[in-house]
Amino acid sequence: MKLTVHGKSGPLVVKLAGIAGGIRLYDEEIAAAIAVGFRVAALDVSGDRRDDPPNRQLDWDLYADEVQEAIDRALETRALVWGTSFGCLIALAAASRYPERVSGLLLSHPPDPLWRPRVHRALLDWAERRSDPDLVARVMFTTAFLGLTSWEGVAPALWVRLPALLRASLEAATPPATVKRKLELLFRDDPGLLPKGASIPVEIIAGAWDLVAPLAGARRLASRIPGARIQVVDYVGHAGAYTRPRAHLDAVIAALKRMA
């Protein structure tokens, strides 16, 4: 795992990235959290970067352990855990295994971990029968992701941010094997939810027009977590942090402050 801690004081937040591209895709969000008084541990879990291969198979237990280790390295006993997209599932895995270490969950554009469309699983099975299953799964993921988010390119705010996002993604160079393994976890395994009786506040931010992690799935997830609060950002898809950054950051900062 690669970890950098930003900010000198304030409540600790562990920030988790999506399936590919690494944590530097969220520099703007991290800076906004620091500016209002939070300390942020920016975590690239094992395998998320080309220069950080995992030393064992990626699974929910490993990811939960690394969140706990990030809190330890930041010299804290508890932290808010903030994930985006697939990072939301890592946050849930950490809270389900180490609820005493998690003071709150912020889930931004979360996929529903129990939504496993038959066609998605069939495509993953098909990729595994190819000669290079990791590469095939990576290409399929990239094609599908760009197809589902391409309409968001009409937003001028995204074009301004695109060079920095491309640099961050190329720097991380998330290996195809990591992408494939994350897809396996997404469509075949359950990260877990909060243990019964755990008093951990949960905030969910969802895009009204999200095609990657649809709003209906975020609502289903919220319904399974007692007390979860969901906030819908209008007129955005999965890339709300870049297409409507002000509205997205307002929702993020408000959620972090409520939990802190």
pTM for this one?
A: 0.96
Q: What is the domain extent for residue 177?
A: 2-259
Q: What is the pLDDT of residue 197?
A: 80
The token duo for 216 is 């209906």
Residue 152 is part of a domain; what is its CATH number?
Answer: 3.40.50.1820
Q: What is the pLDDT of residue 198?
A: 84
The token duo for 245 is 């950054």
How far apart CA 102 and CA 94 sit, in angstroms, is 8
For residue range 70-107, list pLDDT tens digits in order.
999 999 999 999 999 999 999 999 999 999 999 999 99
Nearest to 242 by CA among 172, 160, 146: 160
Q: Which residues of the chain have pLDDT under 50?
A: none
- What's the number of domains the chain is made of? 1
Find where tokens 């009204």 sit: 208
The token duo for 205 is 């931010």
Half-sphere exposure of 149 (CA within 13 A, CB side): 18
The H-assigned helical ranges of 26-155 are 27-35, 60-73, 86-97, 118-128, 133-149
